[in-house]
Structures are given as C-alpha cells and as structure tokens.
Amino acid sequence: MIWIFGDSFFNDATHDDTTWHRQLKALGPVENRALEATSLDWMYAEYSRHEGTFKAKDTVIVGLTTLDRTWFFIDNPQASQVFRGHAPNTISQQQVEAVMLYTQFLMNPVSRMIQLENFLARLDHSAQALDIQILVIASFPDSEQVIKDLNLAQRYKHMTFAQGNLVEISMDEWTEHTASMQDPRLNHLSSVNHNRLALLTATWILHNTPVILDQFETGIISREKALTS
C-alpha cells in the first residue's frame, strides 16, 4: 500500500489519472489522505490517525506544507490561512477577527519549527518500528529551509528526504505570474512535470534511490493560457 499525506500538491480532489500520485497506482494500491490548504498540525493528526493501519513494507509519502498555516477550527482544517484573507464562508467575522489577533500577538515561529521536528521524529520512529518506507517532500521553501538549518535529514536517517521543494518547481513553470492569476493546473503542476515527479517517486519506491527534484520543465505556462483556462 502507498499512503500519501500532504497539501494541495498531493491531494486527489480531481480524481485525474494523469496526476503524479495517481500514476503511482501502477505500483499498487494508493490511499491518498492529503487535503488542500491544510497545516502541519492537521497533517500530523491525520498521519497519527492512520498509522495503526500501516503494514510492514508499506510506503508513505509525506508533503510538508508551509509552517505558518494553523489548524484553527477542528471541523474546518482547510481554513488554515484566514490571516491571509482566505476565509471560507463557513467562518464568521468574529472568528476571522480572533485569528487575526492570534496571528498578530501569539503566533510563535519557533513553535512551528519544533512542531515540524516533532512530526519528523515521529515519522523516523515509525519507519524503523513499523518497517515502512517513508519519503518526505517539502511543498514550500520554508519547510525545506528548516530541514537544512537543523540538519534534520542527517539526524533522522530511517527515511528519505527529497532535495528541493515543489513551490519553486510550480512557480518556475510560469513565463510570468501574479498573485491574482487563477492556477489552471492539477496540483499546481503541468502534465509534463506530473510525469517527472511520478518517475522520481516511483524510482525511489522500487530502488530506494535519492529523490532530487531537478530536471523539471520551466517557462511552459503563460499569463494568456492561465486567463483562458
């Protein structure tokens, strides 16, 4: 069984067989538990909820989202970016104001780094204790940077850390980009780069090779294409 946890780079909302994670079904069953716009604390909880069902030799792929997202509302994990103006209709104005005050006065970036390290420590222990294969991929540059700064890949040796992050691959696909553009791509990647990521992860699953996020296509999607998609 291949298990997948993560954010919008990993989730299966479109059920499209051309996505990189669906292509992994050629190797066996895939259980995708990723959910877009979620935070590390929600992912940790979701991983813990399913860990008891893992079997020896299972494969687990974990995507690490950006550190500043927070699981504010127990029944709405996707409302993790309210402080960025991304408030769903299910969130009241009073809740939005509470989040903004929390972000202004209480958010502690050091605690987020500790949270990330605790999650990785749990993954490393699971890999050894349960005899499972784990790949960690940073979705965002900040998670990748914390892993580098704290030498976490050297400290947690029972799993594989991909080199690079998915946001930079996604952004490099654009010939130009503005924040107001709609993203027409599945999981923020074009088809050719879904194929590349599928190849890298499948090769790791089969041969335990290093996962280096390179040789992706760049400059392949224009503003005009985004606006007409």
| Structure confidence by residue, pLDDT tens digits, 188-204 | 999 999 999 999 999 99
Please tell me the total count of domains within the chain: 1
pLDDT at 85: 82
- Is residue 78 a part of any domain in this protein? no
- Is residue 88 a part of any domain in this protein? no
- Is residue 87 a part of any domain in this protein? no
- Is residue 204 a part of any domain in this protein? yes
* φ, ψ of residue 164 in degrees (nearest 5): 115, -175
Regions of the chain with pLDDT less than 70: 178-181, 225-229
Per-residue buried b or exposed e for 72-88, using 16+ beta carbons within 10 Å of the residue's own CB: bbeeebbbbbbbeeebe
Using DSSP, state whether 163 is helix, strand or coil.
strand
pLDDT at 122: 98
pLDDT at 87: 83
Residue whose tokens read 């991929």:
137
- Is residue 207 a part of any domain in this protein? yes
pTM for the full predicted model: 0.95
> Looking at residue 37, which CATH number applies to its domain?
3.40.50.1110
Alpha helices in the chain (DSSP H): 20-23, 40-51, 93-105, 109-130, 141-149, 152-155, 166-172, 191-207, 223-228
- Is residue 79 a part of any domain in this protein? no
Tokens of 26: 């050629």
Q: Which domain holds residue 58?
A: 2-70+107-228
- Is residue 89 a part of any domain in this protein? no
pLDDT at 228: 60
Using DSSP, state whether 50 is helix, strand or coil.
helix
- Is residue 144 a part of any domain in this protein? yes
* φ, ψ of residue 120 in degrees (nearest 5): -65, -35
